[in-house]
Structure 1
Amino acid sequence: MNWRDLLYFSKGERRALTLLLCLVTISWILLLWTDTKRMPIESQTDAHRTENQQASGERRIITGKNTSEKETSSIRKESGPHPNKTKNALTDKNAILIDNAPYSTSKKRKGYTPYTQTEKYAPGTLVELNTADTTILKKVPGIGSTFARRIIKYRELLGGFYDVSQLAEVYGIDEERHQALAPWFIADTLHIRRLEVNTLSAATLRKHPYLDYRQAKAIEQLRKQKSRLSGWENLQLIEEFTDTDKKRLTPYLSFK
């Protein structure tokens, strides 16, 4: 058939042929448009499924479960037969929705650690200040973990408490708190660790809270002059030491 033969068609035949060509063209356009629309939906579904698998894997690591993909698939097969692919797809979709639930009660219970309140001592109990650890100190009303650690740290610097009034020197314990804490404690001076004045260097002596650099150097120089210090009568000759210093330092200095 030659294109020239079209000139010999009637007007009705030319209209019918033109309409047929238009319908064929529209059909091809709709087919191409449907394919292009279906592709991104499938890609998006695959990406969503991959994200869910990654999220599920991260949850297993956090909870300490080391379940491989092969083990997971075998568990799903053993759970029961699936009649058709549609039912499998719905089951997997429901499983993903359950895994992605924002506040899962069972998982929240697994990771939840109940707070156990420390039991406090009854009124009238006395705690020995130089031997109590943080566990014992926290049982005293008004003392938590922070103050328990501070008390022990200051006790190590001092070498021990010789009087309960020294609690007021701990950082953060003001006069009001000290008055509330004092009735709970006693101090046994037998547990005090003394400083050997005749053997320790000035650098070591100055670490004590009651000795500064000038006093530590004065003790060292006087010890060099006298070769050995016999007692406080030697330190009273030094202007760096006052009667208040003597009262504070007497329980901590040893002249043996």
Structure 2
Amino acid sequence: MPSATVDRHQNNQIALLCTLHASSTSAKQKVTDLLSTGREYYTTGKAQCTTWCYFTPSTRPKAPSQLISKDEKETVVAGFEIYSDKQALSTQQNEDWFKNFQKTVKEEKLFNERGEEQVVWYPTAGFVAREDAAPPYGGIVMLAVFTCKEGKRDEVVKVVGSYTEFVRENEPGVLTYCTMVRPKAPNQILLFERYQDSKALGAHGTTKEFKAMFKGIAPHIEVKQTKLQQFEEFDNAFVSNVIGGGRHEVAVAAKL
């Protein structure tokens, strides 16, 4: 994503938020292992995928948990996949690994009755990854869903988009800070955030710029309807501005 603000009408990127409801904790582990086998496909140019980032609900005491029900925290796997366009999103369905994934899930009954939920979002402000360096894998993922007052969504996107410049320049521990919208929920905004560690997450909300940003959007959102969820990112996830993950190999080496 070349700039801090992105007009979704000029950028064809499409993001898929997947929530997988495993039938048990052992099924969750099997689903996690199966997902990891598909990672190599997403790191090829064929996939036209810039982001393949999966995560599980945080086990940290008192971590925000308002998107995943308490009784499913031990069995849910969630993730973001971001593609260059809608066609790229559909291409994966013909891949052998994907067909095998679906077959195994069905035969071994790895999902409960809720199955797999997929929601399409469109990046519209902020950054998915930094351009100036190979981004390290994150340790923490935060998802925040804001419900805007009627007709105020664009104002909220504008305020958050401007604030993103401060985050990019001053908070290197924030690896992703991307606002997303979708036509089917015209009053909702999803903020996709990744942090290198808990220190970076803790520091993020203490700055005067953060407080000013929240003060700026508060009149335009239903504050009590805001929902937050903290996750722990897979070790082998990747996020990039480049198709196939770009310099993800460098990031792996840096982590080792």
TM-score interval, normalised by the smaller of the two chains: under 0.3
Greater RCO structure (CA 8 Å; 6+ sep): 2
TM-score (norm 1): 0.20
Which is richer in strand? 2
Q: Which of the pair is proportionally richer in helix?
A: 1
